[in-house]
């Protein structure tokens, strides 16, 4: 019987490498924000997107332009530079010393000196509205409504060249969705609309192969990582997809309750934007930002949530920090490290089985074993130990069909 106090566990089927997670969702807290007091701030604040590289956060701040903040101390973000475009800045993506923004068209900036960003070049697509920007290798990506996702060669940033365009199943209504375009390795995810149906589209940029998934006009954001795709649907919550085979994308898991707790509307749903980092998905929707573990795609688990003041835009994740833009509310920095469950991996050294235990150094942990995963299964606890390193090897005596789980003790 579980004790009432908060704890976190993660289990592993030793013979098959199948992870099974069980956690209790916890409240998350803000460790930093900008501006510090949006009610009294004299700044022009309308943060639509945040990107982070190194110690600096880059904010698409509407008519306030591109704002650059030093976030080396997340508790106290400090403005250090800005770039004013002729049009409101609606999106930003940074790679190396270059930043892409949507302002007066697609603009390419040199941000090697964060105190003084400068314009290198721009790209316009006549009659088409830019909606999102990103990167793939050293090429720039830009999505345009009713056209598609353009891949740009910016080796000469003063004269960007369109290499090709990626269109989803509905080329006449190509869009990026509320969550914008997202890339992972050589793969691209975006939302594509056509008539009453909106689909999450996944593309292998190396060869152009693509596949899509969707239901009616519900999909607002798509993200991906290592063969797992995540989709936000306004009427069905978070859907987890197996996208290893782009010709046969299948739904394998879901959490339908996210975004449906009070004070969300009883009828219909809310837009949402996803960010996927490894096995962690950050869902930005109203009334909260949710952190979800998709280690086991068929059984995603909510780890924690933070109540927002308004509908947040897509978060940016760096390590265990989520940078969440909230429009007129500026942006907030949430640390979800405290809600991450401990992990257990398995390896063999000769005839010996070694469990690799990950978790908080200095905390007491215990390994439990069982021969079954049934609800009424009996678990036997091995002696507790203190974790002395982030990935600690623990030798165990393994038998056939042994299940392991590790418990972080309070």
**Residue 264's pLDDT band (boundaries 50, 70, 90)?**
very low
Q: What is the pLDDT of residue 399?
A: 65
Query: How crowded is residue 358: how many other Cβ atoms within 10 Å of its Cβ?
Result: 19
Question: Residue 267 pLDDT > 80, yes or no?
Answer: no
Query: How crowded is residue 122: how many other Cβ atoms within 10 Å of its Cβ?
Result: 18
Sole residue written with tokens 């280690």: 295
Give the residue with greater pLDDT, 261 vs 225.
Answer: 225
pTM here is: 0.82
Over residues 386-391, the mean pLDDT reads 82
Give the residue with greater pLDDT, 274 vs 263.
Answer: 274
Residue 284's contacts (CB-CB under 8 Å, 6 or more residues apart) are: 272, 273, 274, 275, 308, 312, 313, 314, 315, 324
Question: Residue 365 pLDDT > 80, yes or no?
Answer: yes
Dig out the tokens for 216 from the structure.
């009616």
Query: What radius of gyration, in Å, describes the C-alpha atoms of the chain?
Result: 22
Residue 85's contacts (CB-CB under 8 Å, 6 or more residues apart) are: 65, 66, 101, 103, 104, 107
DSSP, residue by residue, 96-134: TTEEEEEESEEEEEE-SSTTS-EEEEEE--TT--EEEEE
323: part of which helix (H) or strand (E)? strand 321-325
Least confident of 2-6, 157-161, 374-378: 2-6
Total residues found in the chain within this entry: 410
Q: Residue 121: CA atoms inside 13 Å, Cβ hemisphere, count? A: 13
Map residue 172 onto helix, strand or coil.
helix
Cβ 50 vs Cβ 69: under 8 Å: no
Map residue 214 onto helix, strand or coil.
strand
Go through the domains of the chain in sequence order and give each one's CATH number. 8-22+342-408 (2.60.40), 32-335 (2.130.10.10)
Q: What is the pLDDT of residue 279?
A: 84
Tell whether the torsion through CA atoms of 295, 301, 303 and 305 is positive or negative.
positive
Q: What is the pLDDT of residue 7?
A: 39
pLDDT tens string 201-215: 999 999 999 999 987
Phi-psi region of 32 (alpha: psi -120 to 50; beta: other; left: phi over 0): beta
pLDDT tens string 310-328: 778 999 999 889 999 988 8
Q: What is the pLDDT of residue 3?
A: 27
Question: Residue 195 pLDDT > 90, yes or no?
Answer: no
Q: What is the DSSP letter of 327?
A: B
Over residues 247-251, the mean pLDDT reads 96
Least confident of 315-319, 364-368, 399-403: 399-403
């Amino acid at each position: 019987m579980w004790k009432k106090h908060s704890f976190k566990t993660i289990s592993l089927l030793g013979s098959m490498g199948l992870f099974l997670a069980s956690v209790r969702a916890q409240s998350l807290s803000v460790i930093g924000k900008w501006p510090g007091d949006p009610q009294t701030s004299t700044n022009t604040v309308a943060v639509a997107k945040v990107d982070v590289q190194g110690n600096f956060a880059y904010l698409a701040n509407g008519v306030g332009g591109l704002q650059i903040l030093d976030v080396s101390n997340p508790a106290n973000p400090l403005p250090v530079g800005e770039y004013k475009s002729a049009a409101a800045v609606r999106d930003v993506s940074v790679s190396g010393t270059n930043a892409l923004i949507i302002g007066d068209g697609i603009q390419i900036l040199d941000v090697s000196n964060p105190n003084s960003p400068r314009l290198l070049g721009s790209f316009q697509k006549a009659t088409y509205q830019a909606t999102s920007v990103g990167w793939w290798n050293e090429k720039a990506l830009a999505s345009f409504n009713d056209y598609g996702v353009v891949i740009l060669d910016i080796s000469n940033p003063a004269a960007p060249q369109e290499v090709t365009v990626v269109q989803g199943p509905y080329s006449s209504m190509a869009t990026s969705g509320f969550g914008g375009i997202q890339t992972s390795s050589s793969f691209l995810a975006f939302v594509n609309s056509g008539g009453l149906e909106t689909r999450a589209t996944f593309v292998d940029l190396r060869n152009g192969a693509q596949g899509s998934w969707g239901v009616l006009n519900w999909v607002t954001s798509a993200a991906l990582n290592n063969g797992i795709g995540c989709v936000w649907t306004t009427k069905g919550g978070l859907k987890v997809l197996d996208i290893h085979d782009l010709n046969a994308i299948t739904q394998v898991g879901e959490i339908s309750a996210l975004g449906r707790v009070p004070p969300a509307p009883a009828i219909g749903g809310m837009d949402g934007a996803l960010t996927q980092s490894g096995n962690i998905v950050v869902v930005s929707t109203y009334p909260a930002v949710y952190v979800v573990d998709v280690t086991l795609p068929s059984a995603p688990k909510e780890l924690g949530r933070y109540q927002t003041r308004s509908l947040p835009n897509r978060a940016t994740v760096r390590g265990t920090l989520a940078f969440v833009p909230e429009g007129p509310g500026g942006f907030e920095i949430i640390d979800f490290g405290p809600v991450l469950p401990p992990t257990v991996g398995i390896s063999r050294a000769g005839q010996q089985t070694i469990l690799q235990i990950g978790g908080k150094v200095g905390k007491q942990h215990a390994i439990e074993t069982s021969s079954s995963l049934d609800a009424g299964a009996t678990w036997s606890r091995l002696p507790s130990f203190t974790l002395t390193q982030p990935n600690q090897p623990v030798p165990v005596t393994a038998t056939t069909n042994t299940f392991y789980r590790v418990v972080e003790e309070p």
